[in-house]
Chains A and B, each alone.
Chain A
Amino acid sequence: GSAPDDSSDGGDGSTTAASDFLPCIVSDAGGFDDKSFNQLSFEGVQQAADELGTDFKDVESNSENDYAPNIDSLVSEGCDVIVTVGFALAAATKEAAAANPDIKFVLIDDAADGGDDGQTFDGKADQPNIKPLLYDTAQAAFLAGYAAADYSKTGVVGTYGGQPYPTVTIFMDGFKQGVDYYNQENSKDIKVVGWDGKNGSFTGGFEANEKATNTAKQLIDQDADVLLPVGGPIYQGALTAIADSGKDIAMLGVDADLFETDPNTQDVVMTSVLKNMKVSTYEAVMSAESDADNFDFTPYVGTLENDGVGIAPFHNFDGKVNPDLADKLDTIKQGIIDGSIPVNSYLNQ
């Protein structure tokens, strides 16, 4: 190849930053390539950094041992705002926040609430300089559940998760409620397999592996023709299971619109339950830069109302789903927003 004129260029965005504002992000054990909340939050920070023309730091954790040290090392790297992803980082974030009151912390998927004894909940983060980002994905999953029930021909729809974490089961809860709602509305009896509200099927981890494939197969063996895999890359398992089954089975994506993020899914993904972490993280970082002094630390809860959560378009399935489904979903969405249709999740209990 030919040498570039200025060889000092290149590296991981180590360009002389336009502003000295430094946003940083720590993943949980899932890592930034989890095609899920780590990745989306990462992209949020990345986008913000690009627009601000600044550099940014990202570190991955492999175990709970790493959270505190990772945050510390970012602190010593001189970050202005540190995004910590996942409830697992809550404790470490609290400590770091206490130790560094002048750094802003954005904590995703946990309220950092409960006080030191873990019992006194005041609806605010325990540290003034932590902004929690929470998502009531049950609302969106509810819509997906309704859609799935409406689409299902076998009368069975299935869901499975990585680990029974609340951030996972909240999807399955909403999904089941959506199906139940469909059943009572249309006096049908669509069955949900893989989640009964308390127990369900879990692959035991958040890796795309044989267990993921196998769990999906097991749901298909129960005649499910719509699958909702919850937990980052484990949807890969559903993909292969569907391919092997040779049946016509639809899949629902979570977090991002799979149709966009993973083209391989375009033929099978009916819709996706959106959890707009990218946007909200992006906004949080941006405002942390723009109005650094009066940054709003009140917890953000993504809902259908503020489009923090939602469901993606049907894309290729436009023709396959009932023509009136889209409108039906809109009315239900309104119902959920105005509270006439209750959706329960750990966030609103």
Chain B
Amino acid sequence: MSTPTSEASIPLHETPLAGVTTVVDKKAAVILSVMTAGLLLVVAFFPQDGDTTFRLAVPSDFAQLPRVTVPSTLTAWVLIIVCLLCAGWSIVLYRRKLQTPLWLMVIYSLGWMIGFLAWAASGGTIPVVGLLSGSLALAVPLVFGALGGVLGERSGVVNIAIDGQLLAGAFAAAMIGSALNSTWAGLVAAMVAGTLVALILGLFAITYLVDQVIVGVVLNVLVIGLTSFMFTQVLAPNAETLNSPPRFTAVVIPVLGDIPLIGPIFFRQSAVVYLLYIAVAVVTWSLYRTRWGLRVRAVGEHPTAADTVGINVIRTRYRTILIAGAVAGMGGAFYTLVSVPQFNREMTGGAGYIALAAVIFGKWDPIRATLAALLFGFASNLQGVLSVIGSPVPSEFMLMLPYVVTIFAVAGLVGRSRPPAADGIPYRKG
């Protein structure tokens, strides 16, 4: 036998298996090699003379971290070598039929990214704090949307209407927030709006067993139509009364906010962002640690089984997607109560679909989905930062970056992922 048979994770006396071996796929090795080659080529063909400065602090810190200035091309080459080593090592591991460990991936990613930055930002200053906090900001609606998506699909309801929920949330937040001149009222309105969209989704997908993808897609169109129509007919004409909501401004969390690097990135944000932290924590905890979560997952994996132990599948699904809708709606509020205090037609720009990508990319797990959304936020913010500095890459290509990254991630790293078994399948009782 070519590969060793080892008794692994599953205690064999309980399994009908002949054994367990580790299967390694070469994806990791391939991806690392390709990425390294790519970086190597750009640096080789467009060498940058000059230095790159990494600024780790913001003026408002009292503990000022130093600026780090490095020679661009040299640094790039050094880090390329690091990448080459990592890639080589992962190839060796593959030959030895061993998985590429996570830490190697992490080191590689850091090396690659810093190397790329050093090259691309030559002659400029990378505001690390701004880069990361901006990424977070761009990711907020995506994370809310992704959380909503995860909840829905874990209960077996595919939610393509995330975009609709975000948009409806943004609209409601702007309108109610302005009318009552209260940010919190706006936030609540956004949650209600998201819930309403979810309710329609439920009505058609759960009660009337209409294909969930159809409902989702059509709902997005419906919400775009409605909000745009109302925008032109109602909001735009009365902009000052109905489309100029107050904003959630950044709140510095006492002690935490003063931690160098971490503080300015995570703890000098608006209330909505703090809500996001809470949402991620609560969703994760309740999904995996509470009775409610156990039942949601059961309903998403095997509704009939859940039914046979007296769990009301339909009610559970409704409850879950309504909550999911509220969460996604909150994300919508971010557009009009934090980013810019006004609503514009189709202002989510398809963010819901990106969130959907994050759900799948994150393998239906709240934490992983959050990370996926953050990665996307990072890529899009990096694009901006570099074009401000005036990078050698044309702005159109920088604008492409986040989407290309996502494709690579989904094709290369995730591959076939296993959704909840009953995901997207309406439940009929006999």
Query: A-side interface residues toward B, CB under 8 Å?
Result: 31, 33, 60, 158, 160, 164, 193-194, 196, 199-202, 204-205, 207-215, 217-222, 233, 236-237, 239-240, 243-244, 246, 264
Contact = CB atoms under 8 A, between A and B. Distances in A.
A221 to B, nearest CB: 4
Interface stretch (B24-32, B80-88, B311-319, B385-393): B385-393
A312 to B, nearest CB: 21
B335 A236 contact: no
B384 A215 contact: yes
B363 interface: no
Which residue, A205, A209, A219, has most C-beta atoms of chain B within 10 A?
A209
A321 B381 CA distance: 33
A21 B34 CA distance: 66
Nearest to B269: A244
B388 A213 contact: no
Given A193-B390, A196-B390, A213-B340, A218 B134 contact: yes
**What are the 4 closest A-B residue pairs judged by CB atoms, nearest first?**
A221-B130, A221-B127, A210-B339, A208-B340
B297 interface: no
Contacts of B247: 240, 243
A209 B345 contact: no
Contacts of B130: 217-218, 220-221
Contact of A204 (B138, B340, B385, B399): B399
26 contacts: A33-B239, A158-B388, A193-B390, A200-B395, A201-B387, A202-B399, A205-B349, A208-B340, A209-B340, A212-B339, A213-B339, A214-B381, A214-B384, A215-B384, A215-B388, A217-B137, A218-B127, A218-B384, A218-B388, A219-B388, A221-B127, A222-B125, A236-B340, A237-B339, A237-B340, A244-B249
A246 B125 CA distance: 21
Contacts of A160: 388
Given A202-B395, A222-B125, A243 B249 contact: yes
Given A193-B388, A211-B384, A218-B130, A31 B345 contact: yes
B133 to A, nearest CB: 8
B2 interface: no
B52 to A, nearest CB: 13
B134 A214 contact: yes
Given A199-B394, A202-B395, A217-B134, A222 B387 contact: no
Contacts of A214: 134, 137-138, 381, 384
A157 to B, nearest CB: 12
Interface string B135-147: 0011001000000
B120 to A, nearest CB: 13
B37 interface: no
Interface in B104-130: 124-125, 127, 129-130
B385 A221 contact: yes
Nearest to A213: B339
A213 B380 CA distance: 13
B333 to A, nearest CB: 12
Contact of A33 (B125, B236, B335, B380): B236
Interface of B: 60, 124-125, 127, 129-130, 134, 137-138, 141, 232, 236, 239, 244, 247, 249-250, 334-335, 339-342, 344-347, 349, 380-381, 384-385, 387-390, 394-395, 399
Contacts of B385: 218, 221
Given A218-B134, A240-B247, A243-B249, A201 B388 contact: yes
Contact of B395 (A164, A217, A220): A164
B341 A240 contact: yes
A199 B335 contact: no
Nearest to A204: B399
A222 B138 CA distance: 19
Contacts of B244: 264
B271 to A, nearest CB: 13
B335 A209 contact: yes
Contacts of A31: 232, 345
Nearest to B55: A221
A220 B385 CA distance: 11
Given A193-B390, A221-B127, A237-B339, 8 more contacts: A200-B390, A208-B340, A209-B347, A210-B334, A210-B335, A212-B339, A214-B381, A217-B137
Contacts of B141: 210
B183 to A, nearest CB: 13
A199 B340 contact: no
Nearest to A193: B388
Nearest to A219: B388
Contacts of B60: 246
B142 to A, nearest CB: 10
Contacts of B384: 201, 211, 214-215, 218
Contacts of B399: 202, 204
B338 to A, nearest CB: 8
B77 to A, nearest CB: 25
Contacts of A207: 344, 346-347, 349
